[in-house]
Amino acid sequence: MTTRAIMKNIVFPLSALFIGLFSNITVMAKTVSVSSPDNKITISVNDDNQPNYQVMFNDEPVITPSALGMLFKNAHGFSDGFKITAVSKATVDSTWQLPWGERKNVVDNHNELLLTFTTDRDSANQYKVRFRAFNDGIGFRYEVPKQNGLTQVEITNELTEFSLANAKESTAWWIPARGWNRYEYVYNTTDVESVDRAHTPFTFKLPSGTHVSIHEAALIDYAAMTINQKRPGTLKADLTPWSDGSLVKTKTNFKSPWRTIQISKDAVGLLNSNLILNLNEPNKLGDVSWVEPGKYVGIWWGMHINATTWGSGEKHGATTSETMRYMDFAAEHGFDGVLVEGWNIGWDGEWFSNGDVFNFSKPYDDFDIAKVSQYGAKKGVRLIGHHETSGSVTNYRNQMSDAYALYQKHGVSQVKTGYVADGGNIKRIDENGIVKKEWHDGQFMVNEYLHSITEAAKHKISINTHEPIKATGLRRTYPNWIAREGARGQEFNAWGTPPNPPEHTAILPFTRLLAGPMDFTPGIFDMSFNGLGSESNRPQTTLAKQLALYVVLYSPIQMAADLPKNYQANMPAFQFIKDVPTDWHESIAIAGEVGDFVAFARQERDGDDWYVGSLTDENARKITLKLDFLEKGKNYQAQIYRDGDKAEWINNPYDLIIENKHVNFTDTITLPLATSGGAAIRFKALD
């Protein structure tokens, strides 16, 4: 897989600065630095008093001196008094491949600095911090070795800070952490000083125009990091606690997740970063040819708009005949999966936040799982499974292996899971049979979500997690973690208060999607189910913008979320959803400002066609895109789906123009985007 890899590992003893390594450390404070391969980003680490780091980009301070360290219960921590006692550097320049993804080849080019911090006390006296500087940002992680006085560990405080010089003059796009609605909030746009406790990715723009996003990579066996404004301009790591108040329970050796800071001179640069993936471990699952990107339809939207029900009875959505009808539709239009929710016992009555009612092996009487999967198999359409746990994770874990085995037996290769329960209200039963309530993003659930992934892998099943733990790039290590939700998706347009505002999908790419693919479920064609206007629950977009979402919001699985009859009523527009791939050879963000507009160009995997998706917030605008991403010397037919001249999202969302043009890489294209409008283009290669 690695086409070129240069690995240098130079250890600098720095002995001149040392009087002794493990005793009587009286070295003077010093600063050690590492820069990105292009020299634009520099991390400097200093051990004067509290170990700290700072980050410069193009000579501008992005992170001013900020604390490093962590504290433990009943053991010495890593804080002031530690000195840098060993320094080693390495350089990596390699290319690796994603089995599926927004691009095939990923370049990992970074300089590494591994620092050992030591103090002269006799127990717990050594910590390592590994820094990596890439051209698109930096990452660092703590590595805590086994040592005297440190075996079982409970972290009581991670001291990591992210300090900004100009918090008041910097703009942030953020959602609150530790809220009842998990990650499902409308984004706030405020100055950084007005942020309290926020989830990551936490994206902000400095007065200079530099864009920065703080997040984490490889969140394994640790609590999620949220960020908390401790003093004005100082954002501190705030780990989501267990129900007993502890933050992380582990044992030495352990490594923290990477703390990541993506940095770019403009907004678009953030979208083209591979930093999070590069900081994850390679695929651990071996052959993953059974993990298949694709497009699906499903028995889903009808429940959200109250046309059908998850529960049994007259309006039951998940019936054998309805599933077969969806399978016919899927087969006719080239979709490979049909999601069926509400097929198993448990949905009658109070299922929200009450997952003990669910049985994951018992279908309702009017759903014949064997019959529908055999029917689908004949048509080349798979049943897509669904497990709503409603946050009762012990109930789910007890049934998990049987539940995945049942699905595997019926040819199901993808399961959507759900953890609908208020934040802090995940129900588990501990070793003593006592009920405990946990957060979705505490260490317990971080492990629980990953457990479902590794168990599913044993059955060659891919998982699409709803109400998930945030993505931190683990899809590289576990490629069957095919997608997840983790932000307000389309469902909020059915019943959310308020529905997603027009700017929502112009913020998501620069925030949530920096973490990884999102199962947003685009493609609602009928926006009039409650009437048009700005007050009703509906997608607050034009029709063209619904099409644009397929290219803008990356996911290897995309749903055509609306009811088949609404697609049948508009086949010309539906053609774009039929054509658009979900697996890409390359993706390039070509224009955008956070919260205003965005445009992506993506080239299909194993093919020559390119696709463009572009969308805007509540403001209409014209954007002109250079087509220089197209292959030189090739001609393309641009099949353009754009807002009509009279389109506007409130009362005229359906005005859509479909037109064809011949173009090549020397051309530009101007797209008139209506209020909350968009454009979707297929560039079909002609020769």
User: Nearest distance from residue 467's CB to ligand NOJ, in Å?
Assistant: 6
* CA–CA gap between residue 471 and residue 514 (Å, rounded): 9
What distances in angstroms separate CA 70 from CA 64, 128, 279, one per listed residue?
A: 19, 12, 21
Q: Exposed, middle or buried: residue 681 (CB in 10 Å: 0-12, 13-18, 19+)?
A: buried
Work out how close the CB of 183 gets to Ca ion at its nearest, in angstroms, rounded to a whole number.
9
The item of ligand NOJ, Ca ion, none sharing an interface with residue 130, based on CB under 5 to 8 Å by kind, is: none
> Closest approach of Cβ 646 to ligand NOJ, in Å?
33
Binding at 388: pick from Ca ion, ligand NOJ, none (beta carbon under 5-8 Å per type): ligand NOJ
Backbone phi and psi for residue 443, each to the nearest 5 degrees, phi listed first:
-60, -40
DSSP structure class, residue 468: -
Give the nearer residue to ligand NOJ in terms of CB position, either 215 or 387.
387
Strand partners, 88: 11, 114
- Which C-beta is closer to Ca ion: that of 292 or that of 388? 388
Closest separation between CB of residue 633 and ligand NOJ, Å? 45
Contacts with Ca ion, 454-473, as mask; x by CB under 5 A:
------------x-------
Give the SS3 label for residue 682.
strand
Nearest residue (CB) to Ca ion, 382 versus 466: 466
Residue 341 binding partner per list Ca ion, ligand NOJ, none, with a CB distance cut-off of 5 to 8 Å that depends on partner kind? ligand NOJ
Token couple for 611: 């696709």
Report, in Å, the least distance between residue 459 CB and ligand NOJ: 21
Q: Which is nearer to ligand NOJ, 484 or 538 (CB)?
A: 484
Burial call 647-665: b when 16+ CB within 10 Å, e when fewer: bbbbebbbbbebeeeebbe
238 binds, among Ca ion, ligand NOJ, none (CB under 5 to 8 A by kind): none
Hey, is 466 helix, strand or coil? coil
* 485 vs 526, beta carbon nearer ligand NOJ: 485
Q: Which of 292, 341, 448, 491 is catalytic?
A: 491
Which of ligand NOJ, Ca ion, none does 448 bind, CB closer than 5 to 8 A by kind? none
* Residue 355 site contact among ligand NOJ, Ca ion, none (CB < 5 to 8 Å, cut-off depends on kind): none
Binding positions for ligand NOJ, rule: CB under 6 A:
300, 341, 388, 418, 420, 466, 485, 491
Bridge partners of residue 596, in order along the sequence: none
165 interacts with, out of ligand NOJ, Ca ion, none, CB within 5 to 8 A per kind: none
Interface with Ca ion in residues 477-536 (CB under 5 A): none
Min dist. Cβ of residue 491 to Ca ion (A): 6
Residue 641 to residue 618: CA distance in whole angstroms: 19
Closer Cβ to ligand NOJ, 300 or 584, answer by number: 300
Alpha-carbon distance of 659 to 642, in angstroms, equals 8
State the Cα–Cα distance between residues 375 and 357, nearest whole angstrom: 29
Compute the least distance from the CB of residue 491 to ligand NOJ, in Å: 5
When the beta carbons of 300 and 550 are compared against ligand NOJ, the nearer one is 300
Residues 439, 445 contacting (CB under 8 angstroms):
yes
Name the pairing type of β-strands 234-239 and 202-205.
Answer: unpaired
Instruction: Examine residue 201 and say whether the peptide bond preceding it is cis (omega within 30 degrees of 0).
Output: yes
Q: Which structure tokens are listed for 62?
A: 């992005």
Q: Can you read off the two tokens belonging to residue 198?
A: 């926020």
Measured CA to CA in angstroms, residue 399 lies from 2, 361, 405, 432 at distances of 40, 8, 10, 19
184 is catalytic: no
Q: Kindly tell me which of 285 and 340 has the beta carbon lying closer to ligand NOJ.
A: 340
What does the chain come to in residues?
687
Structure tokens at 353: 């936040």
**CA 183 to chain centroid:** 11
CA-based R_g, the chain, Å? 25
CB of residue 466 to ligand NOJ, shortest distance in Å:
4
Which residues have a Cβ under 8 Å from the Cβ of 351 and sit 6 or more positions away? 310, 311, 357, 358, 388, 390
Catalytic positions are: 491
By the criterion CB under 5 A, which residues form the site for Ca ion?
466
